[in-house]
Each structure stands twice: as C-alpha cells, then as structure tokens.
Amino acid sequence: MLDTRPAPPAPRGTRAAPRPTGRERSFSADELIVSKTDVRGIITYANDVFLRVSGYDLDEVLGQPHNMIRHPEMPRAVFKLLWDTLGAGQELFAYINNLASDGGHYWVLAHVTPSQGPDGRVVGYHSNRRKPSAAAVRRVQPLYTRLLAEERRHPSARAAVEASSRLLADVLAEQQQGYDEFIWSIINREES
C-alpha cells in the first residue's frame, strides 16, 4: 500500500507536491483512517477521515499512488519492509508519518493487509490507521532518524534503501527482536 517509488508527475489540474511545514495535524483517538489500493498501490477508496486529515478531496486521491502522502522524513526502509511483507501475503503494523496537502504532517499506527479475491489471489491492499500516542511516536523517532541519516549518505534511492534496510535489520538484531516485536512492544506500552 505504501510505496518507496517517487510519485509520478501530478496530472493536470491537481495540486503540486506539498512542502513540509512542520505543523502537525491530528484526528481523534476514536477515528480510523481507511484506504484501499490496487496491487500497484493506486488508491481505490479513501474514507472521510482520510480525506479530512490529509486535506485532499476524493477526486484528488482516487487513481493516485498512495505514496502521494509519503512524508520525506519517513525512511524508505520502512516502506520496503512493508512491501516485502505484503508481497509475502502477510499483514504489517507500522508507525508512519504522513504528509497532508497543506504540508502539515500526521502520525498514524498503520495496519496494512493484503485483500484477496474469491480465488485467493491478492487483488489489493487495505489499510486502517489509528492515532498513536505521543509516547509511541517519541519511541519510534530515534530509529527513523538513524535510518534517514543512513539513507542520506547514499547517492541513489536504491543504495539508500538497501543501506537503511541493513541498518534496520542490524538494530533489530541487536535488540534480539523482529520488526513485529519492536512495533508490538511500542503498541503494548501505549495500551498499558
């Protein structure tokens, strides 16, 4: 659902890519941001919370790559892990910083799952996002900062994502846990 590839040029009549402002947008803890995509990550559905929080109209998001809301401060390694996990037919939970149409940002705890057709074949992806606690965001930010610093050391996107993916694997190995365990350790702290 989330993509590390650069977004294609915006079609005529759509907004230019926003520049981050540093202003945080929010939504309530009892709301869910929901979107669906096809297998290429093209948005096929977005609920009213998605539209309100992202600041886009429905006709601006339908048919667009989901990475249109990718914040430049999100490490590509997280999206590579997401796509690899979905490609294996598995779900993934991840803390994601998204970019709104006005340049504001909003953190989410995303739960992304493959959607299957009647024959069991993956036909797209479904993502529910809820508001994470401020403590959860503070816990994940140092890791993301390290991954971004590693990515910025490399001249190409491919080299950057490979290097930050290795760093992510190394950090998790040092902590003797997988990515799922790392995320669940944060989620469990949120709920306690």
Q: What average pLDDT does range 80-99 have in this prediction?
A: 96
* pLDDT of res. 99: 98
Task: Give the residue-averaged pLDDT of 64-79.
Answer: 96
- Name which of 11-15, 57-61, 165-169, 187-191 the model is least confident about: 11-15
Residue 106: per-residue pLDDT: 98
Quick: pLDDT tens for 1-21.
Answer: 444 444 444 443 455 789 999
What is the pLDDT confidence band of residue 192, given thresholds at 50, 70 and 90? Answer: low
Query: What integer pLDDT is reported at residue 155 of this predicted model?
Result: 93
Q: Is the four-CA dihedral 52, 184, 97, 114 of positive or negative sign? A: negative
CA atoms within 13 A on the CB side of 192: 6
Q: Is 29 within 8 Å of 35 (Cβ atoms)? A: no
Model pLDDT, residue 6: 44
Topology annotation, domain 33-191: Beta-Lactamase (3.30.450)
pLDDT tens digits along 129-164? 999 999 999 999 999 999 999 999 999 999 999 999
pLDDT tier, 188 (very low <50, low <70, confident <90, very high otherwise): confident
Q: What percent of the chain has pLDDT over 90?
A: 88
pLDDT at 17: 81
Spell out the residues 6+ positions from residue 81 whose beta carbon is closer than 8 angstroms to its own. Answer: 92, 94, 165, 168, 179
